[in-house]
Amino acid sequence: MSRILITGSAGGLGRETARLLVGAGHEVVLHARDEGRTREALAGVPGAAAALAGDLASIARTTELAHRANESGAFDAVIHNAGIGYREPRRIETVDGLAHVFQVNVLAPYLLTALVRRPARLIYLSSGVHRAGNAGLDDLQWGQRPWDGYQAYTDSKLFDAVLAAAVARRWPDVVGTSVDPGWVKTKMGGPTAPGEIGPGTETQAWLAVSDGSLALRSGGHFHHRQLRQTHSGVSDHAVQDGLLAACHGLTGQALVTNSPRADHETERKRHSHAS
């Protein structure tokens, strides 16, 4: 049995991935942006172990979420599923003065990666449209360019894949992967999406728990359990390092490169005794 945290699991792909993993006998901790949504998350995933609240559009609230996650015990895998789509008609600024799409889709998973006790596996939800993203790092907050909601979204999905590749390179003891779940019928994808939600959840669940050699291919980008080619920026070390440096600058938190992964069994026993 694995212990797994799934962000953004009150609905959509996150909820269905949680249901799949709970049904397979794993311990799943859910996440939603506030307490009301955590209650909805727990109601939607019978058998889930717990649900944590944290608004990913706030650095302070995301930091608090990371601390609560650590207090709950070590995880074997974290699925960074939470995200917002491409329909924002204007640049929305968060409480931290950042572009909403970038902060939720990119900065929050970065910050959680930096702060949550290192699991064996990290999975980041990207998209097939990441190939249309712009790997430039000079205007991540859309302060200079005219706003383009679709481009901001595709850029964010590119940077999610970059983040996965950077984690895989910097943390060789962790399997870091990114996933294209496909265009599926969710609130974000819309009712006219060609894909069903079920197949859109299987790859990230598989990456979280499978011991197959392909699932353990760190740095891979997957669609329907198959490796897929990525935007050239994903494997570019300068882009990886530049994104990490930008996120470090915005959050004050760096990805520590020399700290070992948590001993999950020891941590579980410690947490059980403390409880």
Tokens of 74: 């070590």
Q: Which residues make Cβ contacts (< 8 Å) with residue 123, sequence separation at least 6? A: 77, 78, 79, 80, 164, 177, 178, 179, 204, 207, 208
| Residue 190 in this model has a pLDDT that exceeds 70 | no
Instruction: Give the integer Cα–Cα distance in Å for 65 and 54.
Output: 5
Largest CA distance in the chain: 55
Q: Confirm if 26 and 18 have CB atoms less than 8 A apart.
A: no
Nearest partner of 163 among 102, 207, 216, 96, judged by Cα: 102
Instruction: Give the integer Cα–Cα distance in Å for 172 and 40.
Output: 37
- Tell me the H-state helices in 210-262: 237-251
Average pLDDT over residues 10-39: 97
Q: Given the structure tokens 């080619």, which residue do they identify?
A: 229
Q: Given the structure tokens 């983040």, which residue do they identify?
A: 163
For residue 140, which phi and psi values (nearest 5 degrees)?
-60, -25
What pLDDT, on a 0 to 100 scale, did the predictor assign at position 14? 96
pLDDT for 106-119, tens place per residue?
Answer: 999 999 999 999 99
Tokens of 258: 């020399």
CA angle 201, 207, 210 (to 5 degrees): 115
Average pLDDT, the chain: 91
pLDDT for 137-164, tens place per residue?
Answer: 999 999 999 999 999 999 999 999 999 9
What type of residue sits at position 214?
A: L
Residues annotated catalytic, as ranges: 153, 157
What pLDDT, on a 0 to 100 scale, did the predictor assign at position 87? 86
Tokens of 271: 């947490």
What pLDDT, on a 0 to 100 scale, did the predictor assign at position 266? 44
Q: Confirm if 81 and 14 have CB atoms less than 8 A apart.
A: yes
What pLDDT, on a 0 to 100 scale, did the predictor assign at position 275? 41
Average pLDDT over residues 167-178: 97
Q: Confirm if 80 and 160 have CB atoms less than 8 A apart.
A: yes
Q: Is the dihedral of CA 217, 222, 225, 227 positive or negative?
A: negative
Q: Given the structure tokens 């959050």, which residue do they identify?
A: 251
What pLDDT, on a 0 to 100 scale, did the predictor assign at position 260? 58
Within 10 Å of residue 49's Cβ, how many Cβ atoms?
Answer: 17
Q: Given the structure tokens 């403390």, which residue do they identify?
A: 274
| Residue 69 in this model has a pLDDT that exceeds 70 | yes
CA angle 15, 163, 53 (to 5 degrees): 35
User: Which domain CATH number covers 148?
Assistant: 3.40.50.720
Domain span including residue 140: 3-274
| Domain tally, the chain | 1
